[in-house]
Amino acid sequence: NILFARELALRLAKAKANVVAYSLHPGCIVTDLQRSLSSIENFAVTRVMALFFKSVPQGAATQLVAATAPAGWAPSGEYLADCNICGSSAHAHNAELGTGLWALSEKLTGVKGAI
């Protein structure tokens, strides 16, 4: 996700597109994914989630910030979490890996040269 967003950001900048690309992590969100668990398991998981997980609106907050922040708020290609720019690993900044992922994505999807 980070590699792809960074490569997309580079390609958008090269094309002089007035668009930014971000990758982000919404956090651990309280959902109904545990619905197939037994009643006891569901009860336990729900209690743990309530203590440590984000609500759906809290989980959506970073996406909303990314979509509505003023131009220049964060450089295109950045990784966001908890409504802020976050650091990412050296691998996520490896341009060669990003180019390779882009090429593989083109090959697997059959979509080439869109940007």
Could you tell me if residue 30 is inside a domain? yes
Contact (Cβ atoms closer than 8 angstroms) between residue 59 and residue 115? no
Could you tell me if residue 89 is inside a domain? yes
Q: Return the SS3 of 23.
A: strand
Could you tell me if residue 85 is inside a domain? yes
Query: What per-residue confidence (pLDDT) applies to 31?
Result: 82
Query: What per-residue confidence (pLDDT) applies to 17?
Result: 94
115 residues of the chain, pLDDT tens digit each: 999 999 999 999 999 999 999 999 998 888 887 778 888 888 888 888 888 889 889 999 999 999 999 988 999 999 999 999 999 999 999 999 999 999 999 999 999 877 7
Distance CA 37, CA 44 (A): 10
Distance CA 106, CA 49 (A): 38
Distance CA 81, CA 47 (A): 24
Query: What per-residue confidence (pLDDT) applies to 43?
Result: 86
- Phi and psi at residue 64, in whole multiples of 5°? -65, -40
Could you tell me if residue 115 is inside a domain? no
Question: What type of residue is 88?
Answer: S
Distance CA 84, CA 78 (A): 10
**Domains in the chain: how many in total?**
1
Q: What's the CATH number where 21 sits?
A: 3.40.50.720
DSSP summary character for residue 55:
P
Query: What per-residue confidence (pLDDT) applies to 89?
Result: 93
Helix axes 95-109, 2-14, angle to 10 degrees: 90
Distance CA 31, CA 45 (A): 11
Query: What per-residue confidence (pLDDT) applies to 101?
Result: 96
Domain holding 77, by residue range, is: 2-109
